[in-house]
Structure 1
């Protein structure tokens, strides 16, 4: 059984009252919560009854990969809560998402909660610490493969029509250098879930790709980082 790992967005600024109903409901349903070290934010969450004595809170300022791995092995759901915005985008949490993608993709279901767009969901689920990224358009209609981009490891992001996934991956293989892995986020709107597929360079072949569905679109994040993903 795959356990849920919730990636929870929160309002930017001092607007905790705008925390979504789904985010509040999700937080109340779990015991283990990883959160950015922010004492004032945690205090306000407790004052509003969103966090209570039932919760075990772990600060992302401390190493938490081994703890998260233990929860996965014990099949205990947990949440990663951003203190402002979405997890992994100018916020900690990417090491735990990378752990899920690289070592436990068959054991967990990554579930974004309270994000405002498919792009937000893709960024928080890609397993990278996304401070900067290049958005390069919609494939196949309006897009670019920036061969002139400097080799600086900045992630590349695309929207991809479902019926063209295989063609897109083939073109990335041919035109984009120094790719470590490609993360495809399939938008399953009716189920309010997102299905993640990871293709690693160069060892994976196209047999790992999902079928090209005509009824769904994808957000694709291309990882060109030089560092090893989270353990």
Structure 2
């Protein structure tokens, strides 16, 4: 067990800051993010060339170190060593919140194992912007990120998500968006609501809302050049699944008797509840029950 006191100073080691960066509009960076990036000893960046543009814009001169999926084991050990020796380090991705479909999870995990304080700053995230602007339910949502690249794996994954009742969130690249929406149509059907969001926070921000069929047809017919990474927001399943229902091995009469004998309902209420469970007319249950 560990209890982290994020802002209690530890004289013998530094802190690890997770700093989100703008997803398009540079004005979305926070004063706090700029302050942290200016005052830490080192910034670990997914792409140092991309991050350097951001640092130059805000006159930040903190040294950069490359940290990405291909060097995370070696660089992770180096960064942990620096923090244990007293240096504070910030991690940034190319855009948005690090760790979310971007490098950083392993480094966060290593920090927890070494009892290094992890301070996460709030900030921009493309998936949440897309969800809030989609018009689809936001009380429950399931973030998946990028779907697999192989067609068979995409179909397998979508089949697993088909019955998910929460709103679904995906990321997708522009050159794969048409095929991905086509696969969503194949597995989920034509009628689910879907929203495509692209160029979020930028001048050409765009939301495309409609049914899966409408949006799929639009993608295939549009002559415009598809640019920018997409966020896909898909309505969750609205079907009431009866698979593995607790009463499925009971006859209709046994089902009614359960409510009468176990739940102590009147026969009228038991018939009504049985009909509701089975999504059949009450008169049908009544006829079967009173015929036996």
Whether TM exceeds 0.5 here: the answer is no
Which range, TM-score by smaller chain?
0.3 to 0.5
Relative contact order: is structure 1 or structure 2 higher (C-alpha 8 Å, sep ≥ 6)? 1
> Which structure has the highest helix share of the two?
2
> Which structure has the highest strand share of the two?
1
TM-score with structure 2 setting the length: 0.36
Larger radius of gyration: 2
TM-score with structure 1 setting the length: 0.45
